[in-house]
Amino acid sequence: MSTLTEAPPPLAPAEPEQKPARKRGRFTPYWLLLPGILWLVVFFALPMIYQASTSVQQGSLEQGYKVTWHFATYWHALTEYWPQFLRSVFYAAAATLLCLVLGYPLAYLIAFRAGRWKNLIMILVIAPFFTSFLIRTLAWKTILADNGPVVHTLNSLHVLDLTDWLGWTAGDRVLATPLAVVCGLTYNFLPFMILPLYTSLERIDGRLHEAAGDLYAKPWTTFRKVTFPLSMPGVVSGTLLTFIPAAGDYVNAELLGSTDTRMIGNVIQTQFLRILDYPTAAALSFILMAAILAMVTLYIRRSGTEDLV
Amino acid sequence: MPFVNWLKRRLVVIAGLLTLAYLLLPNVIVTVFSFNKPKGRFNYEWQQFSTDAWKDPCGVADMCGSLSISLQIAVWATVGATLLGTMISFALVRYRFRARGAVNSLIFLPMAMPEVVMAASLLTLFLNMGAQLGFYTILIAHIMFCLSFVVTAVKARVMSMDPRLEEAARDLYAGPLQTFLRVTLPIAAPGIAAGALLSFALSFDDFIITNFNAGSTVTFPMFVWGSAQRGTPVQINVIGTAMFLAAVLLVLASMVITNRRNKQKA
Amino acid sequence: MKTTPDNSGDVRLSGISKTYDNGFTAVHPLDLTVPEGSFFALLGASGCGKTTTLRMIAGLEDPSSGTVRLGDQDVTHLPPYKRPVNTVFQSYALFPHLDIFENVAFGLRRRGIKSVKKQVEEMLELVQLGEQARKKPHQLSGGQQQRVAVARALINHPKVLLLDEPLGALDLKLRRQMQLELKRIQTEVGITFVHVTHDQEEAMTMADTVAVMNGGRVEQLGAPTDLYENPRTTFVANFLGTSNLIEAEVDTVNGDDIVLKAGGGKLVLPEARCSARTTAGGKVLVGIRPEKIALTHADDAGTIPEGRNRITGKIADASFIGVSTQYVIDTPVCDEFAVYVQNVERDGRLVPGADVVLHWSPAHTFGLDAAQDIDAGIEEEAAA
């Protein structure tokens, strides 16, 4: 996925006399585009329209559905499930922040301090991808088990008392609590934060650090004033790549959480696959999509990195 | 305070390594527990060392079947997405045409969309069309979401390619087809390979979209999901460990080979 | 390897032009004949249309009008891979995925020649790269890559070899060396070379004939000495070396000489060396190269022979650069008159502030049409 974040290399300023002439084959681009674009239109764009239409239908499985412009479904979906929406945003934001805090040192390490270990560390960051993420998520059940060493240590350090008080954990256990879900989300999407961060850090000219040092900046100041601002493209795409999938995820909440940690993804999944209430499910999914697109657009505007794509 | 100074200078390294440990811990657990002999149906608590699961990896009903379905889907999804995606990338980089902006957003949006939204909307389409959910609906979905990633990977590579190389080929008596086969394709190959590898990994590991559109077909991730409810066989860990090792070894081997080749030539 | 003298290596461009879809005209209709076996340079600043012209000969660009002929064969509508023409590209465009041997063999193989080994090895010997055959391009130095690019083109025995800024990426010392090398190869193989460059020294050292291009047109065409000694436009005068240009008024036309008034003094200009129309009272730009001018201290003005053009001035600046000293003289006609004096016998009195007389032989003076931009070609060279 690192490729999403690799900004296209700057094109050489094209002199007018070097522009490639493409007179022959005027239709070639359209033939090249046709199959792929058709695929995306039919199986990505069209479904969005179907979903929008489903969300305003009424009826039942037995009698079939009809478009009745029943917008009350949206109202119903929002009033009924706003806690799950809020929880999704909150969990995803927490996981994104944790990913940034945890991922930045590692990306920095790979980019500037790893030396000959660089490739090995890079492999170790990517390799877990190849083990099914479900299996790895299940491993957290073992790690965070009630009578395991992690919970034991946290308990004896009275950390769990604090998190209990904050409402992140409950009753001296970590599993089936918000903390476990956020921890799982963080773990699952951490590489999506590290790779873009690394790509943008690696582009920074090492001499800039020396220049900053030369101009009387202490290491921490150098980081704040030079390194971090220059890595902003990586921070922006990393947070997006973490936040978007985290907000729609339901696997971590299902495997590591409890009924009190259900996220909006869980609701959509249940409505669609178990309760078979298609209009509500479609409305929920539509709201999620709109909310995420709105947030992403706002975020990209604010951070001034519109050339992200 | 020499120790504090030492710590200060290595703070980043230590923090980075801790994150790396956090990333790798589950893989260690998966590997260790592939040698477990659990008492109940679930493999979450350590009991005693055993190599039973490794001796009989397909000993669980339906698991290897699901693995095979996942592999088939991943291979076909990779072929389809790589082919279509490469074509789109070439069109985007090499030609000017109308609706370029629309095409770009159509490619970007699937990557900026939560999986559950794509999964749900695709299901409404299939339900409306009355399509039979199964192998082919999964394949269609996988090609759809892999496509964008292939396009970004290949596009980056083709963009960084010097257009003079193709001109040089044409200048040296290579016709359009020869130019494409002998120069363009070999140079774009690393990008195409990266896109293909990514597609394979994404497709093989996909759960959310598959879960919505699979009908009664069970892929490997779906098998794991199901077993999380019914009971997790040790064999799951065996497969997970084997995949991890295979990936690491493959990458290491390719690195050793390129290193050696470079040394020989230098 | 000498080609038979059937003129099939002539390049004949007639009425050729290029206008892009966006309306930008890179090359205005142009007639040009490059005789077989010559070393021809297209010289100009970036964006002047020289590369476009070259690419139209190569077939990489479709001309908007006109024809390209090689000898008597019209190749205007042939694709590049069917033209007996090869190109040495700017920054070489060596195939990064092929080794040196395969790069050089590429053209032969595409033409279906099976046994390429002997030819390729001979070619690599010619450019002194026999040892490097199995290396990849990125393992070679810039100069070596340049030679591979030449070998890769030459092995096909093209009728014409096109070189697009072939030395642009090399450092100065290597560039000088490669200039001589290319010249040697051209003499050896005897095929027509068309060389595009923005470096006037490079063009003058290597080429038999130079065409100076500006704004999509050929400003002047001729042998390097001819262009330098007798430029016909301010662009050529400024782009090739340095010129002092003075605006003057025609006083009288006296036989073969024109007498001009400038800044109170009189200057003589041979009519043959004036490219502008001259009528009494009309304006003319008078040009003189800095190294043609002699500098005499005002106290010795009497020693200057009769019949020389002379201008008085004050030294504003002097820089010693070894073989010569470059002076900037403040004169009534031009406040930045450049004068280069060979350091044979240095006059210790010639320091900034000294009053001097500048004088030169009228035979070195040239006259240009005054209706031109007097500074044309100065910035271009600095930018190039």
Percentage above 70 pLDDT, chain A: 90
Interface residue C96 vs chain B (CB under 8 A):
yes
Q: Is A59 helix (H, G, I), strand (E, B) or coil?
A: strand
**What's the pTM value of the predicted model, to 2 decimals?**
0.81
Q: For residues B123 and B131, what is the distance between their CA atoms, to the nearest angstrom? A: 10
Q: Does C79 lie at the interface with B, CB-CB under 8 angstroms?
A: yes
Mean pLDDT confidence for B173-187: 92
Query: Which pLDDT band, with edges at 50, 70 and 90, does A18 fall under?
Result: very low
Residue C237 lies in a domain: no
pLDDT value at position A23?
46
Say if C162 falls within a structural domain.
yes
Single residue among C229, C259, C284 that ends a domain in this structure: C229
Task: Please enumerate, as own/partner, the contacts of A12-17 that have beta carbons within 8 Å and a separation of 24 or more.
Answer: A15/C46, A15/C47, A15/C51, A16/C20, A16/C24, A16/C26, A16/C47, A17/C26, A17/C47, A17/C49, A17/C50, A17/C51, A17/C52, A17/C55
Do C189 and C255 fall into the same domain?
A: no
- What would you measure as the largest C-alpha separation in chain C, in angstroms? 79
* pLDDT bracket for residue A22 (50, 70, 90): very low
Give yes or no for residue A308 having a pLDDT over 50. no
Same domain, C173 and C248: no
| Band of residue A182 on the pLDDT scale cut at 50, 70, 90 | very high
Of B164, B172, B174, which is closest to C86 when you measure between CB atoms?
B172
| pLDDT score of A11 | 36
Average pLDDT over residues C3-28: 83
Q: A36 vs B114: CB contact, 8 Å cut-off?
A: no
Residues C121, C192, single domain; the answer is: yes
- Enumerate the H helices of B133-219 as residue ranges: 135-159, 163-171, 176-179, 185-205, 208-213
pLDDT average, residue stretch B120-135: 92
A16/C26 Cβ within 8 A? yes
pLDDT confidence bin for C382, thresholds 50/70/90:
very low
Question: What pLDDT score does A221 carry?
Answer: 85
Range among A141-155, A209-223, B80-94, C173-187 rated most confident = B80-94
Kindly tell me the burial class for residue B78, based on how many C-beta atoms sit within 10 Å of its own C-beta (0-12, 13-18, 19 or more).
Answer: buried
- The CA–CA distances, whole Å, from B4 to B217, C197, C233 equal 58, 61, 74
Domain count, chain C: 2
Query: How far is residue C384's CA from residue C380's CA, in Å, rounded to a whole number?
Result: 6
Residues in A 30-49 with any Cβ partner in B closer than 8 A: 30, 32-33, 35-37, 39-41, 43-48
DSSP code for A67: E
Enter the tokens of residue B181: 């086969």
Q: Is residue C2 part of a domain?
A: no
Indicate if C105 and C161 belong to the same structural domain.
yes
Q: Where are the domains of chain A?
A: 27-70, 84-308
Alpha helices, DSSP H, located in chain A: 2-5, 28-40, 46-55, 72-108, 118-126, 133-143, 149-156, 159-166, 178-202, 206-214, 219-222, 228-230, 232-248, 251-256, 264-270, 278-303
Mean pLDDT across the stretch B105-118?
Answer: 91
Q: Searching chain A, which residue's CA lies closest to the CA of residue B43? A: A142
Are C45 and C188 within one domain?
yes
Which two three-digit tokens encode residue C46?
Answer: 């970036």
**Mean pLDDT value across residues B115-119:** 94
Domain end position, chosen among C229, C253, C283: C229
d(C-alpha A113, C-alpha A125), whole Å = 16
Segment holding B239, helix H or strand E: helix B234-265
Domain encompassing residue C330: 244-375
C321, part of any domain: yes
pLDDT at B53: 87
Q: Tell me what the mean pLDDT of segment B86-110 comes to.
A: 89
Residue A204 clears pLDDT 60, i.e. is over it: yes
Nearest 10 degrees: CA dihedral of C200, C205, C207, C210?
Answer: 30
Judge whether C85 is closer than 8 Å to chain B, CB to CB. Answer: yes
Q: What would the pLDDT profile of A68-123 be if each residue is shown by its tens digit?
A: 888 888 999 999 999 999 999 999 999 999 999 999 999 999 998 888 888 889 88
DSSP string, A104-138: HHHHHIIIII-GGGHHHHHHHHHGGGGS-HHHHHH
Question: For position A196, what pLDDT does the model report?
Answer: 92
pLDDT of residue C219: 92
Interval B159-176 mean pLDDT: 91
- Give the pLDDT score at A25: 63
C248 and C343, same domain (yes or no): yes
Q: Where residue B181 falls among pLDDT bands split at 50, 70, 90? A: very high
pLDDT number for residue A300? 81
CB proximity B175 to C under 8 Å: yes
Question: Region C2-24: what's the mean pLDDT?
Answer: 80
Per CB-CB distance under 8 Å, the chain C contacts of B171 are 58-60, 80-81, 85-87, 89, 153
Band of residue B264 on the pLDDT scale cut at 50, 70, 90:
low
When pLDDT is averaged across residues A55-77 and rounded to a whole number, the result is 83
Q: How far is C197 from chain A (nearest CA, A)?
A: 14
Q: What is the pLDDT of residue B262?
A: 66
pLDDT, average across residues B207-217: 94
Where residue C154 sits, what CATH number does that domain have?
Answer: 3.40.50.300
How would residue B1 be classed by pLDDT, with cut points 50, 70 and 90?
low
**C3: in domain:** no
Structure confidence at residue C17 (pLDDT): 94
Q: Is residue C115 over pLDDT 50?
A: yes
Q: Among C229, C259, C280, which residue terminates a domain?
A: C229
Q: Please choose, from the candidates C182, C203, C194, the residue with its C-alpha nearest in 3D space to the C-alpha of residue C158.
A: C194
Predicted confidence (pLDDT) at residue B119 exceeds the cutoff of 90: yes
Going by pLDDT thresholds of 50, 70 and 90, the confidence category of residue A21 is very low
Report pLDDT for A12: 38
- Look at residue C108 and tell me whether its pLDDT is greater than 60: yes
Cα torsion for A284, A285, A286, A288, to the nearest 10°?
Answer: 90
Q: Where does the pLDDT of residue A14 fall: very low under 50, low under 70, confident under 90, or very high at 90 and above?
A: very low
Residues of chain C contacting residue B161, judged by C-beta atoms under 8 Å apart = none
CA A292 centroid distance within chain: 11
Q: Are C160 and C48 in a shared domain? A: yes
In this prediction the ipTM stands at: 0.89
Q: What is the SS3 assignment for chain C?
A: CCCCCCCCCCEEEEEEEEECCCCCEEEEEEEEEECCCCEEEEECCCCCCHHHHHHHHHCCCCCCEEEEEECCEECCCCCHHHCCEEEEECCECCCCCCCHHHHHHHHHHHCCCCCCHHHHHHHHHHCCCHHHCCCCHHHCCHHHHHHHHHHHHHCCCCCEEEEECCCCCCCHHHHHHHHHHHHHHHHHHCCEEEEEECCHHHHHHHCCEEEEEECCEEEEEECHHHHHHCCCCHHHHHHCCCCEEEEEEEEEEECCEEEEEECCEEEEEEHHHECCCCCCCCEEEEEECHHHCEEEEHHHHHHCCCCCEEEEEEEEEEEECCCEEEEEEECCCCCCEEEEEECCCCCCCCCCCCEEEEEECHHHCEEEECCCCCCCCHHHHHHC
Contacts of A216 (CB under 8 A, 6+ apart): none
Residues C268 and C163 grouped into a single domain: no
Which residue of chain B has the CA closest to C56?
A: B171
Domains and CATH numbers, chain B: 2-52 (no CATH), 61-232 (1.10.3720.10)
The answer to whether residues C361 and C332 belong to one domain is: yes
Let me know: does C137 contact C103? Beta carbons within 8 Å.
yes
Q: How far apart are CA C208 and CA C205, in angstroms?
A: 9
DSSP β-bridge partners for residue C297:
C356
Instruction: Establish if C213 belongs to a structural domain.
Output: yes
pLDDT digits (tens, 9 = 90+) for C211-228: 999 999 999 999 999 999
Q: Give yes or no: residues C251 and C220 share one domain.
A: no
pLDDT of residue C190: 87
Could you tell me if C332 and C207 lie in one domain?
no
Whether the predicted pLDDT of B261 surpasses 80: no
pLDDT at B159 over 70: yes
Interface test with C, best of B173, B180, B181 (most C CBs within 10 A): B173
Asked if residue C318 and residue C174 are part of one domain, the reply reads no
Using a CB–CB cutoff of 8 Å, tell me whether A251 touches chain B: yes
Q: Who contacts B209 (Cβ-Cβ below 8 Å, separation ≥6)? A: B115, B118, B119, B122, B141, B142, B145
* Lowest mean pLDDT segment, chosen from B107-121, B220-234, C141-155, C163-177: C163-177
pLDDT band at B137 (very low <50, low <70, confident <90, very high): very high
Q: Is the pLDDT of residue B207 over 90?
A: yes
Q: Which CATH entry fits the domain spanning A84-308: 3.30.70.100, 3.40.50.300, 1.10.246.90, 1.10.3720.10? A: 1.10.3720.10
Q: Mean of the per-residue pLDDT values for chain C? A: 89
Residue A299 scores a pLDDT above 70: yes
Confidence of residue C262 (pLDDT cuts 50, 70, 90): confident
Chains contacting chain B through 3 or more C-beta pairs under 8 A: A, C
- B232 has a pLDDT exceeding 80: yes
Nearest alpha carbon to residue B224 among B242, B211, B209, B212:
B211
